[in-house]
Amino acid sequence: MKEKVILAYSGGLDTTAIIPWLKENFDYEVICCCIDCGQGEELEGLEERAKLSGASKLYVVDITDEFCDEYIVPCVQAHAVYENKYLLGTSMARPCMAKHFVEIARKEGATAICHGATGKGNDQIRFELGIHALAPDLKIIAPWRMTDIWTMQSREDEIEYCKKHGIDLPFDASHSYSRDRNLWHISHEGLELEDPSTPPDYDHLLVLSVTPEKAPDEAEYVTMTFEKGVPKSINGEEMKVSDIIRKLNELGGKHGIGICDIVENRVVGMKSRGIYETPGGTILYEAHQQLEELILDRATYEMKEEMGNKLSQIVYEGKWFTPLREAVQAFVEKTQEYVTGEVKFKLYKGNIIKAGTTSPYSLYSESLASFTTGDLYDHHDADGFINLFGLPLKVRAMMMQGLEK
């Protein structure tokens, strides 16, 4: 009986060419697995294509709700943003996908998992760290790193390889952006984006959004509610998290929200330039943070910022299945105990503008914050506070004066 390999299958040219390559070079039975994280119409026609290419079976596993509830929500609660811009759309999805590749490998009795990530990117790390953490006994096959037997270097090479193996597929050799899409975002790399001095061709590039210049001239008001840091409703309508993201994507895309042009530092050491469209995610992050401003005390807020930065690094580097991620997430979850309330804002030409935030757990005191004197605050107390708070500065200044004399 042939050994089985689970192929992380997207239906694109790369993973389609890998099917006959695995059979030819390893004599595996190839079982394709496509993980649905909300990429929509990209999944159409996959089964026919996989079997035409020589796969014995195709799994399509819908993990959209799991992805939203167990991976996106913790990152939103932490306000995890990599290098101040990237909202981790691909990074969050990969460990969840790796988990299901392992589950199907166990179900099928497979001995290996194969992925089509390149040797220059982050995804190879994210997939493989996830597999190592969950199934250290499984072999991992990464064709793009096996240059002794993977000799294809271009789309033309892959198309020709498929034709030689009797696979006539609707792909052409024309160059296009390299994209990754799920419910949270879509990323774009390649073409003019490879030159940081060149502006993006947004008219050709954008999929989920319009540019702020093309957004409506009328602002749109939106109201959201949260319960313990989890989004619960939009404009009075309760929805599950995945549907909230879908609705926010629609609203954000319409108003030019969440288009990010970034040169980021990959885990492997190189810089890469990409465009991320995250319309709904950008709104969700901002709305959640507006609510937190009312509720978290200063010391907790400062520490949570540090934990959010740490989580962004953990997720970006593919270290989801680690004790560190669990510990950081546990801290963040504790901070969300009272993050409950309503956030109102308006969307206008790429901007998210505050329009009022309320919470039963708000620490904002109008009597304290106003310029009138309240019962809880005596202005004279500030004298002693400033003297003590500034004492180290004063002592040092006196010492410096003594040295100058």
| Cβ 3 vs Cβ 28: under 8 Å | yes
Report the C-alpha gap between 281 and 44 in whole angstroms.
25
Which of 49, 94, 179, 181 is an active site residue? 94
Question: Is position 273 annotated as part of the catalytic site?
Answer: no
Helix (H) or strand (E) holding 101: helix 89-108
Which of 56, 178, 272, 362 is an active site residue? 178
| Torsion angle of the four alpha carbons 139, 140, 142, 145, in this order, in degrees rounded to the nearest 10 | -70
Question: Is position 157 annotated as part of the catalytic site?
Answer: no
Sheet holding 220-227, edge to edge: 237-238, 230-234, 220-227, 341-348, 351-358
Report the C-alpha gap between 59 and 105 in whole angstroms.
11
Q: Residue 67 has what DSSP assignment?
A: I
Q: Are strands 259-265 and 271-277 parallel, antiparallel or unpaired?
A: antiparallel
Question: Is position 243 annotated as part of the catalytic site?
Answer: no
Which of 49, 91, 123, 126 is an active site residue? 123
| Cβ 347 vs Cβ 219: under 8 Å | yes
Task: Give which of 346, 345, 76, 38 is closest to 230, Cα–Cα.
Answer: 76
Which of 10, 14, 180, 359 is an active site residue? 14
Measured between alpha carbons, how far apart are the two ends of the chain, in Å?
Answer: 91
Question: Is position 209 annotated as part of the catalytic site?
Answer: no
- The set of catalytic residues is 14, 94, 123, 178
